[in-house]
Amino acid sequence: MLTKVEDDASAEVLNERVAYLSVSEEGDALHCAFSGTWTTVTVAHVDEQMRDLEGLAGKRTVRLDLGAISALDTAGAWLIKRLAQRQADAGADVDFVHASENAAILLDAVDEMAKLEVPAAKPFKFDPLAPFEKVGKGVVSLGHDFVAGMHILGSTIQGAQMKLGRGHAINPAAIASQIDKMGVGAIPVVVLMAAIVGAIIAQQGAFQLRYFGAEIFVVDLVGILIMRELGVLLTAIMLAGRSGSAITAEIGSMKMREEIDALKVIGLNPVGVLVFPRLVALVIALPCLTIIANFAALGGAMFVAWSYSGIPPQAFVDRLRDSIDLSSILAGLIKAPFMAIIIGIIGSVEGMKVGGSAESLGRQVTTSVVKSIFIVIVVDGLFAMFYAAIDF
Amino acid sequence: MDAFSSPTTAENLSPGTRPGDNREVVLQARDVTVSFGEKTILENLSLDVYRGEILGFVGGSGTGKSVLLRTVLGLNKKQHGTIKLLGADLDEVDEATRMTVDMRTGVLFQHGALFSALTVLENIQVPMREYLDLPPKLMNELARLKIDLVGLPQDAALKYPSELSGGMIKRAALARALALDPDIVFLDEPTSGLDPIGAADFDDLVRTLRDTMGLTVYMVTHDLDSLFSVCDRIAVLGKRRVMVDGTIEDMLRSDEPWVKSYFRGKRARQIDLEARDAE
């Protein structure tokens, strides 16, 4: 639609205003008469013709007649000046005739540029080492990220350090507001997601267990799976997407506008002011959200067990009490603060890496979310192996 | 002058000139009212900008200079009034006319508003790419020509906006505003944040471009030097309308208290004296 209109518009313009060029050659003399409109809009189709004229060798005198030009702008002047300059470089005698006063000013204005050689674009060169270079750079930056992450973790553990070396003030208001944004705000979506996942697992489990006449064991399946793994993992992934990205974007856009530098020169520690409250808020919010997600998932499962398998809620709760114990619940909850720290640190590190462009902000937010989700899942796997090893 | 005004312009423009003044009106605002919620920023404002002039626009902070600029460009909604830019009422034109008007308008935003993901060269080429079908080589040359015209070094072409200084950003943004050789450019505080030498260069540049390209310049500025040295006409915004407009002499003669303190204040007197001495 838009392109069509554009075509129409430019076609209309071209019909009305065209750059004309008539060339006559007599031996070693070249005579060009320009007429019509020579503006940015019209010069495109005479560009090639002009370049051919520039390439003409062996001309002694070149006469450029500007008398019939009705409109000229810098683009038109540039084409004419370029021809004049190239022919003059080739040893021809160039003179302008019938140039109006304004045309003379314009030709003069582009003169400096005509003398400059426009640097050609770098030719593409195949480099067999390029992929390895990329891998190497990736490994090095991974190392840098790790160090930066440890730095942020270290300064956080050391305390809020609002002011560099002066006091260890903690700002409870900031922490509370972050908990509200990251934790309370996430409750609806976490509840909905957990309830649906719980219901799906219960339905699938019941469907398979029905063959064995062991439908009641769906309660064990759902209970253990949710408590130990899924509750915390789903919540962490949701929070990585929801809050990890927000942390990166907030810190990144502050970095872009030199607000981080402003904090530094005011004497405040950016990590203390920006990262610490967010990290603390995440460490508090993620376990709480996990508990809520566990309840929601069990609720969803209970509803499906009742409606799909005919297990009444009372039987569900009785069975649940037998199948899970405190260790199952703790096994899930212990993981939550670790995941919160991972999300917070990766979000902050990526935020600090934002450069000057909007594009880099987008790239860093993407990296932050992808990295946090990936590492959260890897850490969950490590915990599973660890629990298996210590028989927890 | 005529050589540079496109032939279609005269037909497009409706006769909106004052009696006894037959200069062509490029921008005409009539009874413009803009309010945000309860607060009225501009009320029944009228303004004419003539072809080939450099109009300086001044006014205290918060009087709505930027609001007026944005309204003229169609970035803000107005409650009332008509604005004709290059003869076209932007509220009523069809898309094709709107595009031709856009092509003939250049804007330098206060903070440059260069696209941060593109190099300076690519930034300048954005309007060319969108509107014209130019061969890439010619497009590169024209973009570099614009870079040269605004006084940037050629090695700035491949830099990103985040690698440029404040003054260079302004120049690069001006180069982008001039990419299609527009008929009118809007400059929002072009010299703010520049050192006096850079600001004076910028003023010279604006004047040269006006002389060579026949530009009409609408310049919002607080820079008294610019007002004294390059502006043909000055309009003062205050009390939600154009309070006074005229040459610098008119400003110096005005009895409006704000205008008086602006143009005859301590800082202004200094410049005025210098200007007189130079003459």
Residues B223 and B170: their CA atoms lie apart, in Å, by: 15
Residues A363 and B62: their CA atoms lie apart, in Å, by: 37
Amino acid letter for position A383: F
Residues A68 and A262: their CA atoms lie apart, in Å, by: 59
List the Cα angle A64/A69/A73 in 5-degree steps.
100
Closest CA–CA distance from residue B236 to any residue of chain A (Å): 32
Best mean pLDDT range from A124-128, A152-156, A209-213, A231-235: A231-235
Pairing status of strand B25-36 against strand A93-97: unpaired
Cross-chain Cβ contact B149/A74 below 8 Å: yes
Nearest CA in chain B to A5: B96
Question: Residue A391 carries which DSSP code?
Answer: T
Enumerate the residues of chain B whose CB falls inside 8 A of the CB of residue A119. 154
Domain map of chain A by residue range?
8-114, 144-390
What pLDDT, on a 0 to 100 scale, did the predictor assign at position A68? Answer: 80
Nearest CA in chain A to B142: A75
Cross-chain Cβ contact B96/A73 below 8 Å: no
- Tell me the per-residue pLDDT of A137-163, one tens digit each, with 9 for 90 and over: 999 999 999 998 898 888 777 765 555
* A276-309 vs A313-323: helix crossing angle, rounded to 10: 130
What pLDDT, on a 0 to 100 scale, did the predictor assign at position A223? Answer: 93
A61 has pLDDT over 90: no
In order of A136, A233, A251, A359, the CA distances from A366 in angstroms are 21, 19, 14, 11
Enumerate the residues of chain A whose CB falls inside 8 A of the CB of residue B1. 102
Q: Are A68 and A35 in contact (CB under 8 A)?
A: yes
Q: Are B32 and B44 in contact (CB under 8 A)?
A: yes
Cross-chain Cβ contact A110/B154 below 8 Å: no
What pLDDT, on a 0 to 100 scale, did the predictor assign at position A198? Answer: 95
Enumerate the residues of chain A whose CB falls inside 8 A of the CB of residue B210. none
**What is the tally of helices (H) and strands (E) in chain A?**
17, 4
Q: Which of A12, A48, A73 sits opposite B213 (nearest CB)?
A: A73
Q: Which of A75, A356, A359 sits opposite B142 (nearest CB)?
A: A75
Closest CA–CA distance from residue B33 to any residue of chain A (Å): 31
Closest CA–CA distance from residue A87 to any residue of chain B (Å): 18
- Tell me the per-residue pLDDT of A293-321, one tens digit each, with 9 for 90 and over: 999 999 999 999 999 999 999 999 999 99
pLDDT tens per residue across all 279 residues of chain B: 344 444 433 333 333 334 445 678 888 888 888 888 888 888 888 888 888 888 888 888 778 888 888 888 888 888 888 888 888 887 888 888 888 888 888 888 888 888 888 889 989 988 888 888 888 888 888 888 888 888 888 888 888 888 888 888 888 898 898 888 888 889 888 887 778 887 888 888 888 778 877 789 998 888 888 888 888 888 888 888 888 888 888 888 888 888 888 877 766 666 665 665 665
Closest CA–CA distance from residue A16 to any residue of chain B (Å): 9
- As for the ipTM of the complex, it is 0.74
What pLDDT, on a 0 to 100 scale, did the predictor assign at position A368? Answer: 94
- Tell me the per-residue pLDDT of A332-372, one tens digit each, with 9 for 90 and over: 999 999 999 999 999 999 999 888 788 889 999 999 999 99
Q: What is the mean pLDDT of residues A264-289?
A: 87
What pLDDT, on a 0 to 100 scale, did the predictor assign at position A233? Answer: 95
Q: Which of B160, B180, B212 sits opposite A357 (nearest CB)?
A: B160
Q: Which of B2, B4, B215 to mutate to test the interface with A (most CBs of A within 10 A)?
A: B4
Distance between terminal CA atoms of chain A? 64
* Residue A387 half-sphere exposure toward CB, CA atoms < 13 A: 17
As beta bridge partners, residue B93 has: none
What pLDDT, on a 0 to 100 scale, did the predictor assign at position A1? Answer: 34
Q: What length is written for chain B?
A: 279
Q: Class of the A8-114 domain?
A: alpha beta
Distance between terminal CA atoms of chain B? 27
Q: Which of B7, B141, B178 sits opposite A70 (nearest CB)?
A: B7
Cross-chain Cβ contact B1/A102 below 8 Å: yes
Residues B239 and A283: their CA atoms lie apart, in Å, by: 54
The contact set of A with B (CB < 8 A) is: 5-6, 8-10, 12-13, 16-17, 37, 39-41, 43-44, 47-48, 69-75, 78, 82, 100, 102-103, 105-106, 109-110, 112-113, 116, 118-119, 121, 355-359
Q: What's the token pair of residue A42?
A: 């019209």
Name the least confident of A9-18, A110-119, B43-52.
A9-18
Cross-chain Cβ contact B7/A17 below 8 Å: yes
Q: Which of B141, B162, B165, B207 to mutate to test the interface with A (most CBs of A within 10 A)?
A: B141
